[in-house]
Amino acid sequence: MVSALFSEQILSSRQPEDDEVIDGIIYPSVGNDYQTDNLAILPECLDKNFKLTGVAEFVIEESFYNKPFQQGDPGAIQVAKVKNVRGAKSISSDGIISW
Helix, strand, or coil here: 47?
A: helix
* Greater pLDDT, 59 or 77: 59
**According to the model, what pLDDT value does residue 8 have?**
79
In this predicted model, what pLDDT tens digit does every residue of 14-68 receive, in sequence order? 666 666 777 888 888 776 667 778 888 888 888 889 888 899 888 989 887 777 6
**According to the model, what pLDDT value does residue 98 have?**
94
Given its phi and psi angles, is residue 97 left (phi above 0), alpha (psi -120 to 50 degrees) or beta? beta
Provide the residue ranges of all domains of the chain, joining segments of one domain with +.
1-50, 51-98
Model pTM above 0.75: no
* Greater pLDDT, 60 or 7: 60
CA dist list (Å): 18 to 14, 15, 69, 76: 7, 5, 38, 38
CB 27 within 8 A of CB 38: yes
CA dist list (Å): 97 to 35, 36, 44, 48, 57: 32, 28, 19, 18, 12
